[in-house]
Chains A and B, each alone.
Chain A
């Protein structure tokens, strides 16, 4: 970022300047991630605990049924794997937004936001950086899961990528939108509890929706309206080389909506700045 020389009198920026900006933000996020090895380990341990312990306990409980995209009977571990991948994204999205609150308190965000490049682009770069880090974790999880007999078709690892990027952007944008409303780091934990847990549990990550419907029709509708459900289903279908068009539309729509909301919220004339000083940010 600091290496970019920008002439503020110009109205437009060259492509290379945009790329330099993207590189800077992504690299900073990657460095931050690499220097926090514990974060990587803990990000992996969380879904693996669900996979190895929770899924083992529920293996015989949930019964068997064939639902798309599966073409035959599957073990519970196989069922929850896409949900756990989405969980990695969800936690990363929230963690990334947590880091934005931290950056704002510490004053680092000022450095980012004073860049002459469009505010929306800066936020999008930040979002991409968070998603890239999250992608690494998902593929590391898939590698371990492979030894646990979660073996999608080889092509699935490739078709999964766009679904992971889109769902990662959606959850990152949601985190960003939430972070815009948080003034202090301490307030964030409560918001995470109000967002992460309801989103994760009221979705198709752990139980198929037909099973939820049997238990509670009301919860079934909540799950259907939960964008996280669609992120999970988009990932689930993509892992088997298929597209769930409804989920794709919902995730794409939500990504755009959350992103626009975040850009609006971080606009100095309307969002964050108008709320007055919070920590190091003005």
Chain B
């Protein structure tokens, strides 16, 4: 009996060891660097000097490049993942903050914070295809799973703009709570989630009817409601669980994506901002801006495993496909 207990404990210990081998890139907004992390060892392997104020960051679909929006340099830089050198740039508008790409990885949509526009870019040709006028201070960007709709949230207009990707025209606007920061679709396309930083809520929108059908609210005992500022959202592939970064509340909320109820709060570093899943969805990495680190969450166990020091003011994170 004891032997069996010992063996099962040993097996648990062995299975607890990380088995994934991805590479994570973290943009450090104040440090003007991108930190490279090996997710096998959960250790920093390189730091890349990039342009000024790097924020939005994402792998190209083929995994060959990492695109990073350097807002104060008004461009998007492309890092070669083999050489870790900046090899090219993409022509965004002024002050690019966050961007998204279509499923094929051909078209990039960039929110230009200071210009109230979304720039459409052909990634392969590195050319600008056009601009779409949106609300004031655009930020959150997301393409619907069927690729037909582009969502752009504008921080000051407090709206989620529904843009038809074929006509590049705004088809609808949905009013949400103050300062919408981020948008995320369910993988089946049935719901759109938009976080509102000042409003302290996540609005659930019916993407067909363009109406808010529910709201996720947060309440952490002992914390002032102003400290709870939802930003980044991560949805599991089965659309059952969502993770919401709560900014200065220093917590990530675990939300039942079916009932829209918060089931747990996970303590992470200070001012938690954006997040990314590993492709196997075993781990979720979140950036903690003020404490200059990223926290690693075990998705199945809903437990924070460790925090890794990165550069100054980490903002966004992307993980190799």
Query: Could you tell me which A residues sit within 8 Å of B by CB distance?
Result: 59-60, 64, 66, 71-75, 151, 153-155, 157-158, 241
Which residues of A are found within 8 Å of B3, using beta-carbon distances? none
- When the two chains form their complex, are residues B12 and A154 in contact, meaning their CB atoms are under 8 A apart? yes
Query: B154 interface residue, CB < 8 Å from A?
Result: no
From B9, B16, B250, B305, residue with most partner A Cβ within 10 Å: B9
- When the two chains form their complex, are residues B9 and A158 in contact, meaning their CB atoms are under 8 A apart? yes
Contacting residue for B270 out of A59, A64, A151, A158, CB 8 A: A64
Q: A153-B16, A154-B12 are in contact. List 4 more A-B contacts (CB 8 A).
A: A60-B223, A73-B268, A73-B295, A155-B12
Interface residue tally for chain B (C-beta within 8 Å): 21
Contacting residue for A71 out of B6, B268, B306, CB 8 A: B306
- When the two chains form their complex, are residues A153 and B250 in contact, meaning their CB atoms are under 8 A apart? no
Which residues of A are found within 8 Å of B305, using beta-carbon distances? 71-72
- When the two chains form their complex, are residues B9 and A66 in contact, meaning their CB atoms are under 8 A apart? no
- When the two chains form their complex, are residues B307 and A73 in contact, meaning their CB atoms are under 8 A apart? yes
**Consensus secondary structure, chain B interface:** mixed
- When the two chains form their complex, are residues B250 and A155 in contact, meaning their CB atoms are under 8 A apart? no
User: Closest Cβ of chain A: how far from B256's Cβ, in Å?
Assistant: 18
Query: B299 interface residue, CB < 8 Å from A?
Result: no
**Consensus secondary structure, chain A interface:** loop
Which residues of B are found within 8 Å of A71, using beta-carbon distances? 305-307
Which residues of A are found within 8 Å of B250, using beta-carbon distances? 64, 73
From A71, A151, A241, residue with most partner B Cβ within 10 Å: A71
- When the two chains form their complex, are residues A155 and B306 in contact, meaning their CB atoms are under 8 A apart? no
Q: In chain B, residues 1-24, which have Cβ atoms closer than 8 Å to a Cβ of chain A?
A: 6, 9-10, 12-13, 16
Which residues of B are found within 8 Å of A241, using beta-carbon distances? 13
Q: Once the chains are docked, how many angstroms separate the CA of A220 from the CA of B303? A: 33
Query: B304 interface residue, CB < 8 Å from A?
Result: yes
User: Closest Cβ of chain A: how far from B226's Cβ, in Å?
Assistant: 14
Number of A-B contacts (CB under 8 A): 44
- When the two chains form their complex, are residues B270 and A72 in contact, meaning their CB atoms are under 8 A apart? no
In the complex, which residue of chain B has the Cβ closest to the Cβ of A63?
A: B270
Q: Once the chains are docked, how many angstroms separate the CA of A64 from the CA of B305? A: 16
Query: Could you tell me which B residues sit within 8 Å of A by CB distance?
Result: 6, 9-10, 12-13, 16, 222-223, 250, 267-270, 291, 295-296, 303-307
Q: Once the chains are docked, how many angstroms separate the CA of A153 from the CA of B222? A: 27
Which residues of B are found within 8 Å of A59, using beta-carbon distances? 222
Q: Once the chains are docked, how many angstroms separate the CA of A158 from the CA of B16? A: 16
Q: Once the chains are docked, how many angstroms separate the CA of A155 from the CA of B12? A: 8
Listed by A's residue number, 9 A-B pairs whose Cβ atoms lie within 8 Å are: A64-B250, A64-B270, A66-B307, A71-B305, A72-B268, A72-B304, A75-B267, A153-B16, A155-B13
Given contacts A72-B306, A73-B250, A154-B12, contact A64 B269 (CB under 8 A): yes
Q: Once the chains are docked, how many angstroms separate the CA of A72 from the CA of B250? A: 12
- When the two chains form their complex, are residues B222 and A73 in contact, meaning their CB atoms are under 8 A apart? no
In the complex, which residue of chain A has the Cβ closest to the Cβ of B251?
A: A73
User: Closest Cβ of chain A: how far from B16's Cβ, in Å?
Assistant: 7
In the complex, which residue of chain A has the Cβ closest to the Cβ of B14?
A: A155
Given contacts A59-B222, A64-B250, A64-B270, contact A154 B307 (CB under 8 A): no
User: Closest Cβ of chain A: how far from B288's Cβ, in Å?
Assistant: 9
User: Closest Cβ of chain A: how far from B14's Cβ, in Å?
Assistant: 10
Which residues of B are found within 8 Å of A153, using beta-carbon distances? 12-13, 16
Which residues of A are found within 8 Å of B223, using beta-carbon distances? 60
Which residues of A are found within 8 Å of B9, using beta-carbon distances? 154-155, 157-158
Which residues of B are found within 8 Å of A66, using beta-carbon distances? 307
User: Closest Cβ of chain B: how far from A72's Cβ, in Å?
Assistant: 4
User: Closest Cβ of chain B: how far from A160's Cβ, in Å?
Assistant: 12
Which residues of A are found within 8 Å of B222, using beta-carbon distances? 59-60
- When the two chains form their complex, are residues A74 and B267 in contact, meaning their CB atoms are under 8 A apart? yes
Q: Once the chains are docked, how many angstroms separate the CA of A154 from the CA of B296? A: 19
Given contacts A59-B222, A64-B269, A66-B307, contact A72 B13 (CB under 8 A): no
- When the two chains form their complex, are residues A73 and B12 in contact, meaning their CB atoms are under 8 A apart? no
Q: Once the chains are docked, how many angstroms separate the CA of A74 from the CA of B305? A: 10
Q: Once the chains are docked, how many angstroms separate the CA of A174 from the CA of B223? A: 43
In the complex, which residue of chain A has the Cβ closest to the Cβ of B270?
A: A64
Q: Once the chains are docked, how many angstroms separate the CA of A4 from the CA of B205? A: 80
In the complex, which residue of chain B has the Cβ closest to the Cβ of A65?
A: B291
In the complex, which residue of chain A has the Cβ closest to the Cβ of B296?
A: A72
Q: Once the chains are docked, how many angstroms separate the CA of A73 from the CA of B295? A: 9
Which residues of B are found within 8 Å of A151, using beta-carbon distances? 303
